[in-house]
Chains A and B, each alone.
Chain A
Amino acid sequence: MAEHSRGNRRYTRRETLGMAAAASIAATGVAASTTYAAPMLNFRQDPVTLEFWGGEPEESGPGALVEAFNESHPDIQVTYTRYVNDDTGNTQLDTALQGGTPIDVVQMYGNPRLAQRIQAGAVADLSAYIEQEQPIADWLADEPEAAFGNDTGTYAIACVREPVVIFANQTLLDNAGVTVSENWTTDDFVALSAELSGDFAYGAYAPPDIARQILGSNSWYKEGATESNFDDPAFRQSWETHRTMIEEGSSFPWTDVLARNLRVYQQNLYLTEQIAFWPTAFWVMRYINDEEEFPHDFITTTLPLPVPPDADPVYNPGITGNWITMNPSSEKQDAAWEFMKFRITDGAQYYLAAGKQPAFPGTDQATVAAGLMGENPEERYDVEAFERVAFDPNVILTSDTVLVAGAEIQQIVQQTTDRYLIGEIDIDQCVTEIKTQADEAIAAAGA
């Protein structure tokens, strides 16, 4: 059966047909605009049904998205299945994909897994479709990190851009008499966090990822990806800064983070006013906006990331992600591509309430801001500050495309820095261990 034939090949027969169909449709002069009307596929009698899998709960966006699409496209009907985005849930997705379950479009998270799936041939090459779509092709030409691919093709398109910003508790800032300047540096951040720390609050949850700010994409690897890059002084600086802040009491103690499993619960710390500076991304806004479950009475102001001095250019550790992909064994690839386009462009607005800023620049800023901040934003946010920071055009996002032994290295870095931050090992040990183990992992992966 065709669905089991995989491996590295340029285009399957189906894709070639798909391209031919797309070309012929384009040739009939249907305009490629950002709103897609039904007529394109009216040579079909019954509606085509598509299976769309994603990690978000239905009410966080997919539900509204699918409804809107189904209404405007009576000949393509989409059903949403939600998978849990943890290890076992991803295994469910993987087994479903390879086992021939009819899935057409998948939303995936995290570059290492995506890379693994591309390598396994479980994701379709979209290059041909992209070429036919001028707005998308132009956008991707401008922002190459919004597409994920390699020399064999482009396999995924980002739906969300997630720059890292710092949300700050305005009340705590006012009480300590702290003001933050536009171009503040990492040293400013450290100093101000110290001022903001008191009996029950810490200045910051953690410093931002300084190493990534300095090194940018693929920071873990040296050129050629045969060796890891952890001997670069930027990493040392990053980790040492964090630990120094913890020791000085200006950053939340890492023993508590581990003991209470707080990595996944930072919003609780921020909203119960235990931290003032919170480096995070917009998806947490759903918690800030939830007045019922997370009532709080301070205003959140938005600050740009502090800049490491002497760094040029300065990157934002944030990413473009939430990749939308197509299953190569899907039998309705044209219809699937219709839906994917919708998701990327007009459909992105339905995810705003979950704090997902669209990656595609089609939606106007006012809609995005209103969607992200919710109703009556002045009650919770410094609106002007948010808009200024969120739509800052000078932010350079990162995108990791080299992912050799990515999951293993992620595990190594986390485990070892955990031990370093709780004070069990010192910085030299930390750097050496990470470098050695990462190199081993890369070597093993290449074997």
Chain B
Amino acid sequence: MAARAPGASRFRFRLRSERVLSREERIRWTIVSIVMWAVAILFLMPFVWMVVSSLKREIDVFRLPVQWIPDPLTWSNYVEVWTGRYPLTKYIGNSLIVAIARVVGELFTASLAAYAFSRLKFRGRDIIFILYVSTLIIPHQMLLVPRFILYRQLGIYDTLWALILPGIFTVFGTFLLRQFFLTIPQDLTDAARVDGASELQIYWRIILPLSKPALASLAILAFVWSWNDYETPLVMLTSEDKFTIPLGLTRYFDESGGFSAALISAGAVSSLIPIFIVFLALQRQFIQALTRSGLKG
């Protein structure tokens, strides 16, 4: 238990990030910062390795001990990846189309369903929800073959729809958003209902704006998953011009299982750029000073 009232006068209460810190707190946060940055180096390693490998000759990529500075510096991998026979720009384009379509679609359907599961009562709601969530358990490889048969019947085999459509109707997004929506106080919605707002209005005007961080995190996760998905495109697409990035990168594998690590690294680094952009853009949701004085009691 910390000391009582005498310390209180030192605090001026504003939003947390703007609060003036006590000396004790400043020391604590300095230590935390140092630790975080030290650990961050470990987290940066795969990225650094990718960048470094993309600038090496193939024979140097796996030399031990690791050369962290490529010698000689080889730019040819990037030249090959961007202007060679496999069109990286097309793959990035396809990946973007699929990812954006999926994210927009998923945000829409999942938030609607999550709203229902968290704030509306109807018969069987909880049972359906449990069944819903339980379907996450089946390894998705088991669904590859049945889905293949289904998509052929639907005529979407070897089209980008085969990648987009299943991604729009996910259980995961519904689950995530439901948990977030549950933390929004009931009295807000109750008050609005009493005032005569329709559910759709409550959903649109109240819940969604309050859930920006949750929506942003779902968007990021869904985007990344779509971006890195390898197995579904592999089974569902055969035309090279529809390939997404992970599939495009397999062009650098040969038939015996070996692959050009340097080329693939160059391709992978190149394909990370859109993700960084998306992440940094959606980041702002977390940093924005949220003025909530009226809403949170």
Residues of A within 8 A of B (CB): 54-60, 81-82, 84-86, 88-89, 91-92, 95-96, 99-101, 109, 260, 264-265, 267-268, 271-272, 283, 290, 292-296
Contact = CB atoms under 8 A, between A and B. Distances in A.
Nearest to B236: A92
Contacts of B234: 84, 88-89, 92
A54 B240 CA distance: 14
Interface string B62-80: 1110000000000010000
17 contacts: A59-B85, A85-B256, A89-B234, A89-B250, A91-B144, A92-B238, A95-B144, A95-B235, A264-B257, A265-B258, A271-B59, A272-B59, A272-B63, A283-B256, A293-B260, A293-B262, A295-B57
A99 B152 contact: yes
Contacts of A268: 59, 62-63
Interface in B221-267: 230-231, 234-235, 238, 240, 250-258, 260, 262
Contact of B145 (A91, A265, A292): A91
Contacts of B230: 88
The 10 closest A-B pairs by CB, nearest first: A55-B255, A293-B58, A294-B59, A85-B255, A95-B148, A92-B235, A56-B255, A84-B250, A264-B257, A99-B152
A346 to B, nearest CB: 21
Nearest to B255: A55
Interface string B130-151: 0000000000000011001100
A136 to B, nearest CB: 24
Contacts of B64: 260
Interface in B150-179: 152, 157
A414 to B, nearest CB: 14
Contacts of B58: 290, 293-294
Of the candidates A81, A84, A260, A294, the one having the most CB atoms from chain B within 10 angstroms of its own CB is A84
Contacts of B258: 264-265, 267
Given A59-B85, A283-B256, A293-B58, A88 B235 contact: yes
Contacts, number: 78
Interface in B22-78: 57-59, 62-64, 76
B4 to A, nearest CB: 57
Contacts of A55: 255
A290 B59 CA distance: 10
A271 B63 CA distance: 11
Contacts of B253: 57, 84, 86
Contacts of A81: 238, 240
Nearest to A281: B256
A269 to B, nearest CB: 9
A260 B238 CA distance: 32
A292 B57 contact: yes
Of the candidates B149, B238, B250, the one having the most CB atoms from chain A within 10 angstroms of its own CB is B238
A91 B147 CA distance: 13
Nearest to A56: B255
A193 B85 CA distance: 43
A57 B251 contact: yes
A58 B59 contact: no
A58 B85 contact: yes
Interface in B260-280: 260, 262
Given A91-B145, A272-B63, A60 B152 contact: no
A88 B59 contact: no
B239 to A, nearest CB: 8
A226 to B, nearest CB: 31
A274 to B, nearest CB: 9
A61 to B, nearest CB: 10
A267 B62 CA distance: 11
Contacts of B145: 91, 95
A108 to B, nearest CB: 11
B94 to A, nearest CB: 17
Given A95-B235, A267-B258, 10 more contacts: A57-B251, A57-B254, A85-B257, A86-B257, A88-B230, A99-B152, A260-B64, A268-B63, A293-B260, A294-B57
A88 B234 CA distance: 8
B148 A293 contact: no
A277 B57 CA distance: 24
A57 B234 CA distance: 15
A105 to B, nearest CB: 15
Contacts of B57: 292-295
B79 to A, nearest CB: 12
Contacts of B144: 91, 95
Of the candidates A56, A99, A109, the one having the most CB atoms from chain B within 10 angstroms of its own CB is A99
B163 to A, nearest CB: 14
Contacts of A290: 58
A84 to B, nearest CB: 5
A59 to B, nearest CB: 7
Of the candidates B59, B144, B250, B262, the one having the most CB atoms from chain A within 10 angstroms of its own CB is B59
A100 B152 CA distance: 9
Nearest to B250: A84
B238 A96 contact: yes
Contacts of A272: 59, 63
Interface in B71-101: 76, 85
